[in-house]
Amino acid sequence: MKEILKGHIVHAPALGQLEIIEDGYLVLEDGVIAGIYSQLPGEHADGKMHDYGDRLILQSFADMHLHAPQYPMLGMGMDLPLLDWLDTYTFPVEARFADTEYARRVYRRLANELITNGTTRVCMFSSLHTDATWVLMEELEKAGVTGFVGKVNMDRNGKEGVYQETTEESVSETLRWLEGCHFDHVKPIITPRFTPTCSDELMAQLGKIAAEKGLYVQSHLSENRAEMAWVLELHPDCKQYWESYHKFGQWKDHTVMAHCVHSDASERRAMREHNVVVAHCADSNINISSGVCPVRQMLDEGIWVTLGSDIAGGQQLPMYRVITTTIRSSKVRQMMDDWKTPFLTVPEGYYLGTTAGHKYFGGGFAVGDALHAVVVDDGNFTESTRPLSINERFERALYMMEQRNIISVWSAGRCVVGR
Amino acid sequence: MKEILKGHIVHAPALGQLEIIEDGYLVLEDGVIAGIYSQLPGEHADGKMHDYGDRLILQSFADMHLHAPQYPMLGMGMDLPLLDWLDTYTFPVEARFADTEYARRVYRRLANELITNGTTRVCMFSSLHTDATWVLMEELEKAGVTGFVGKVNMDRNGKEGVYQETTEESVSETLRWLEGCHFDHVKPIITPRFTPTCSDELMAQLGKIAAEKGLYVQSHLSENRAEMAWVLELHPDCKQYWESYHKFGQWKDHTVMAHCVHSDASERRAMREHNVVVAHCADSNINISSGVCPVRQMLDEGIWVTLGSDIAGGQQLPMYRVITTTIRSSKVRQMMDDWKTPFLTVPEGYYLGTTAGHKYFGGGFAVGDALHAVVVDDGNFTESTRPLSINERFERALYMMEQRNIISVWSAGRCVVGR
């Protein structure tokens, strides 16, 4: 089936680049981009037209790190130190997802909030619960959110009796979960919570499962200094945090590591050499007082950086807001670096929140890629003093848009919002 | 007329204090708070009841620094250095307000967005234009926003021929403007844009007018280092920026100075000694790469700190979001200070965005004060895992609320939204 989207098309093909096709035509063949044109070629005149008029057609967003079961605790406990926050909020809240009916209600709403805000691809943590994780995957699938979800593994340093597995349970439940994952657009990813909550035995088993089944891995890395010291205490044979994943076969191509705020040059080199992906979470890093990640430096070194909302360490789900927060965070980093590192520009921030993430799933915004896009109606913004360029409207939309401005969302080639 | 508001009442009587009256009663006599009670005293049983049920009744917000004519450029030019940003956006955009019909449309919308987001008191910059400034004051008055508005003065270093006055015009227009200010809830304030844009002659005249007419003054101070150096070049007789206001009689009780990011101990002492008010603008300071204001230090020194959205240097108008940004900014400051200065807690941030500002206008949330309040319906937030305390609901509301959650706004004792 041939479809055509007409409007002002904006996407970021590479870091710092913005491609704008004013009054452009995006031709889809069975959901896959067949071409983007300023003038519609005659051969495509027979396609089904979606005329979005004066609106902006933007590549949609990819949220590369968030905790689905922390959605109910958004905006709470922000004054607490990390460990109290985990103990008072995170673990008891996540434990609640043993109840699949509760999980169904919360995850349906989460999936809806993600997709209506234009997040069409995610790399997401669930809870320890196999059943609730299936519920989450099902709700994402139904809403049109695609990507990876991981049942979390944790056999130590959780909350015993409340929220922790035995090593055996963790492994057997992971295997049971993997067997039950039959979704078209939502796939499993191996998810040790982080080194301190997983015994060596569990880490070894998870590495083995990932290798045998050809699965990616996601976890946390070097979020704060106390955590880093703790990891080295637990693994005296490791010189750096990353090695605690590496020695169990989990530090490999496409492993997603959230935060990496304090990763030094040597740890960053290990990322680049193994094609490990950084999920930078600007809001969370400031809310929980972790630090300010040196994103510019990582990019200069050729490291693959993506963005995550990291709810509920982050306080907001919409990735357009996470992008502008990321830009502000890079300005803070610039100040901290004595103005030596340039801040992230709007096109750069947008690239990190879109293309850099979409790449993880093997897609982009080029011919041959399944379409992931949002259509933004900026008509209700304040009346400007003069006609604005598409570039200006794009920047303003990133800073100003709200859910209601997103009138249509395309995910994996399908129109899933505003049908 | 006696009225009673029933609901969960939350306000911040002092820095770091939060007073919560669960299922409380707030008794108003002709718009003035007569008492706040856990049980309604029998003598007040005859009042007209506004039963807000399970909702939160919070003190409303005060925005102590914003530029009304920059409202149309929200979210634009954020990658530009300050001077390019002024030249490309700010000055041409403000110049457009020579057209009072345009001003009417934009200011009506601004006033509506302020009041529906719970900002009931402002200290605001208009443009150079006398007529548009009256329009602004009229629209604020109509919407129920109260406070101070200043016609801006600028007779040098603007954009000649586009946006600048002669000294004579600036003075005569200021006098004409003051004569035409007959509003009940919106009062004039003397507003030199900042030292570099005002000649000595103009500054002297403005200081004289302020003294003769008993008016307050607002301006900008020590926002960035280049600006500070420029001021000292223009005023070789001054050792510090603040003296350039002081020598013209403008550095005095209730003078509001926006930013003060780089004010040193000596400038800060001058603030405290003269009861000068800091309008801290966390968003703007980061967006324009000014720096991160040492708010905790100012508070410890006994300086009067309030908050401003500073649109369009700031990208958002809702003060509940400005408050949480301010908290995040204080966490950044903590990192920059090697963890020596504690961050601002939620009650502290809320105090700065409410009580600290309301005080400026002679009011608060105590018996004898005209009521300034918002009623927040948090019923559409994500289902929590357990019943939440009012304190938790308050914190979550600050972080999560949107315009639609504010179902009623009271300003100067009148219900102006949700009547």
Q: What is the per-residue pLDDT across A67-93, written as a single tens digit (0 to 9) for each? A: 999 999 999 999 998 878 988 899 999
What pLDDT, on a 0 to 100 scale, did the predictor assign at position A235? 98
- pLDDT tens-place string over residues A37-64: 999 999 999 999 999 999 999 999 999 9
User: Which residues on A lie below 8 Å from B332 (Cβ)?
Assistant: 286, 292, 332
What pLDDT, on a 0 to 100 scale, did the predictor assign at position A81? 82
A356: alpha, beta or left, given left = phi > 0 and alpha = psi -120 to 50? alpha
Terminal CA-to-CA distance of chain A, rounded, Å?
16
B71 and B54, same structural domain? Answer: no
Interchain proximity B396–A76, CB inside 8 Å: yes
What pLDDT, on a 0 to 100 scale, did the predictor assign at position B30? 98
A vs B: CB pairs below 8 A: 126
> In sequence order, what are the beta bridge partners of A402?
none
User: Which residues on B lie below 8 Å from A261 (Cβ)?
Assistant: none
Distance from the Cα of B381 to chain A's closest Cα (Å) equals 8
Tell whether B358 is covered by a domain: no
Partner-chain residue, chosen from A78, A96, A332, that has the shortest CB–CB distance to B286: A332
Interchain proximity A383–B345, CB inside 8 Å: no
**What is the number of structural domains in chain B?**
2
User: Which residues on B lie below 8 Å from A328 (Cβ)?
Assistant: 283, 286-287
- Contact by Cβ (8 Å): B58, B7: no
Partner-chain residue, chosen from B286, B331, B384, that has the shortest CB–CB distance to A331: B286
CA nearest neighbour of B72 among A236, A366, A121, A385? A385
Interchain proximity B102–A385, CB inside 8 Å: yes
Tell whether B349 is covered by a domain: yes
Position B134 pLDDT exceeds 90: yes
Interchain proximity A336–B331, CB inside 8 Å: no
What pLDDT, on a 0 to 100 scale, did the predictor assign at position B304? 98
Task: Report d(CA B153, CA B175) in Å as an integer.
Answer: 12
What pLDDT, on a 0 to 100 scale, did the predictor assign at position A121? 98
Tell whether B359 is covered by a domain: no
Beta strands in B209-340 (DSSP E): 218-221, 256-259, 277-280, 304-307
Tell whether A359 is covered by a domain: no
What mean pLDDT is predicted for residues A264-280?
Answer: 98
Interchain proximity B79–A383, CB inside 8 Å: no
A78 and A56, same structural domain? Answer: no
Position B320 pLDDT exceeds 90: yes
Tell whether B211 is covered by a domain: yes
Q: State the best of A113, A162, A286 to mutate against chain B, taking most chain B CBs within 10 Å.
A: A286
Give the whole-number percent of chain A exceeding pLDDT 90: 96
User: Which residues on A lie below 8 Å from B286 (Cβ)?
Assistant: 328, 331-332
User: Which residues on B lie below 8 Å from A315 (Cβ)?
Assistant: 324, 399-400
Tell whether A191 is covered by a domain: yes
Position B419 pLDDT exceeds 80: no
Partner-chain residue, chosen from B74, B292, B327, that has the shortest CB–CB distance to A400: B74
* pLDDT-based confidence at residue B387 (cuts at 50, 70, 90): very high
Separation of CA B381 from chain center: 28
A161 and A38, same structural domain? Answer: no
Helices marked H in B117-166 — which ranges? Answer: 130-143
A391 and A337, same structural domain? Answer: no
Q: State the best of A66, A76, A348 to mutate against chain B, taking most chain B CBs within 10 Å.
A: A76
Give the end of a domain, one of A353, A377, A396.
A353
A222 and A127, same structural domain? Answer: yes
Task: Report d(CA A151, CA A259) in Å as an integer.
Answer: 19
For the record, the structure tokens of A226 come out as 């106390």
With CA atoms as reference, the chain A residue closest to B393 would be A76
- pLDDT tens-place string over residues B157-196: 999 889 999 999 999 999 999 999 999 999 999 999 999 9
CA nearest neighbour of A124 among A326, A384, A312, A321? A312
Task: Report d(CA A199, CA A206) in Å as an integer.
Answer: 11
What pLDDT, on a 0 to 100 scale, did the predictor assign at position A327? 98
Distance from the Cα of B237 to chain A's closest Cα (Å) equals 30
B336 and B325, same structural domain? Answer: yes
With CA atoms as reference, the chain B residue closest to A91 would be B385
Interchain proximity B382–A292, CB inside 8 Å: no
Distance from the Cα of B186 to chain A's closest Cα (Å) equals 23
| 3-state helix/strand/coil string of chain A | CEEEEEEEEEECCCCCCCEEEEEEEEEEECCEEEEEECCCCHHHCCCEEEEEEEEEEEECEEEEEEEHHHHHHCCCCCCCCHHHHHHHHHHHHHHHHHCHHHHHHHHHHHHHHHHHCCEEEEEEECCCCHHHHHHHHHHHHHHCCEEEEECEECCCCCECCCECCCHHHHHHHHHHHHHCCCCCCEEECEEECCHHHCCHHHHHHHHHHHHHHCCCEEEEECCCHHHHHHHHHHCCCCCCCCHHHHCCCCCCCCCEEEECCCCCHHHHHHHHHHCCEEEECHHHHHHCCCCCCCHHHHHHCCCEEEECCCECCECCCCHHHHHHHHHHHHHHHHHHCCCCCCCCCHHHHHHHHCHHHHHHHCCCCCCCCECCEEEECCCCCCCCCCCCCHHHHHHHHHHHCCHHHEEEEEECCEEEECC
Give the whole-number percent of chain B exceeding pLDDT 90: 96
Q: State the best of A116, A292, A331 to mutate against chain B, taking most chain B CBs within 10 Å.
A: A331
Q: State the best of A293, A337, A339, A399 to mutate against chain B, taking most chain B CBs within 10 Å.
A: A399
Residue type, B99: D
Q: State the best of B332, B376, B378 to mutate against chain A, taking most chain A CBs within 10 Å.
A: B332
- Contact by Cβ (8 Å): B308, B64: yes
Give the end of a domain, one of B313, B333, B353.
B353
- pLDDT tens-place string over residues B87-119: 889 999 999 999 999 999 999 999 999 999 999
Burial of B419 from C-beta contacts in 10 A (0-12 / 13-18 / 19+)? exposed
Judge if the upstream peptide bond of residue A312 is cis by omega within 30 degrees of 0.
Answer: yes
User: Which residues on B lie below 8 Å from A383 (Cβ)?
Assistant: 72, 102, 105-106, 109
Q: In CATH, what number is assigned to the domain containing residue A37?
A: 2.30.40.10
Give the whole-number percent of chain B exceeding pLDDT 70: 100
Burial of A10 from C-beta contacts in 10 A (0-12 / 13-18 / 19+)? buried
Largest CA-CA distance found in chain A, in angstroms, rounded: 67
User: Which residues on B lie below 8 Å from A93 (Cβ)?
Assistant: 385
Interchain proximity B76–A396, CB inside 8 Å: yes
B380 and B317, same structural domain? Answer: no
A132 and A79, same structural domain? Answer: yes
Give the whole-number percent of chain A exceeding pLDDT 70: 100
Position B268 pLDDT exceeds 80: yes
For the record, the structure tokens of B13 come out as 């009587």
What pLDDT, on a 0 to 100 scale, did the predictor assign at position B86? 87
With CA atoms as reference, the chain B residue closest to A398 would be B75
- pLDDT tens-place string over residues A188-219: 999 999 999 999 999 999 999 999 999 999 99
What mean pLDDT is predicted for residues B357-383?
Answer: 96
Q: State the best of B285, B287, B392, B399 to mutate against chain A, taking most chain A CBs within 10 Å.
A: B399
Partner-chain residue, chosen from B79, B106, B315, that has the shortest CB–CB distance to A382: B106
Distance from the Cα of B318 to chain A's closest Cα (Å) equals 12
B66 and B47, same structural domain? Answer: no
What pLDDT, on a 0 to 100 scale, did the predictor assign at position B55? 98
Tell whether B242 is covered by a domain: yes
B112 and B19, same structural domain? Answer: no
Interchain proximity B399–A336, CB inside 8 Å: no
For the record, the structure tokens of B313 come out as 């240097």
B274 and B222, same structural domain? Answer: yes
Position A419 pLDDT exceeds 90: no
Tell whether A358 is covered by a domain: no
- pLDDT tens-place string over residues A143-188: 999 999 999 999 999 998 899 999 999 999 999 999 999 999 999 9
Place of tokens 């900026």: A378
Place of tokens 């009916």: A101
Partner-chain residue, chosen from B73, B286, B400, that has the shortest CB–CB distance to A75: B400
pTM across the whole model: 0.97
Distance from the Cα of B360 to chain A's closest Cα (Å) equals 28
Question: In terms of residue numbers, what domain contains B337?
Answer: 61-353
For the record, the structure tokens of B91 come out as 């000055």
B155 and B100, same structural domain? Answer: yes
User: Which residues on A lie below 8 Å from B77 (Cβ)?
Assistant: 395
The length of chain B, given as a count of residues? 419
Residue A212's CB: how many other CB atoms inside 10 A? 8
Place of tokens 């856990």: B38
Interchain proximity B315–A292, CB inside 8 Å: no
User: Which residues on B lie below 8 Å from A71 (Cβ)?
Assistant: 382
Interchain proximity B78–A399, CB inside 8 Å: yes
Q: In CATH, what number is assigned to the domain containing residue A335?
A: 3.20.20.140
Give the end of a domain, one of A353, A372, A393.
A353
Tell me the average pLDDT of chain B. Answer: 97
Task: Report d(CA A172, CA A165) in Å as an integer.
Answer: 10
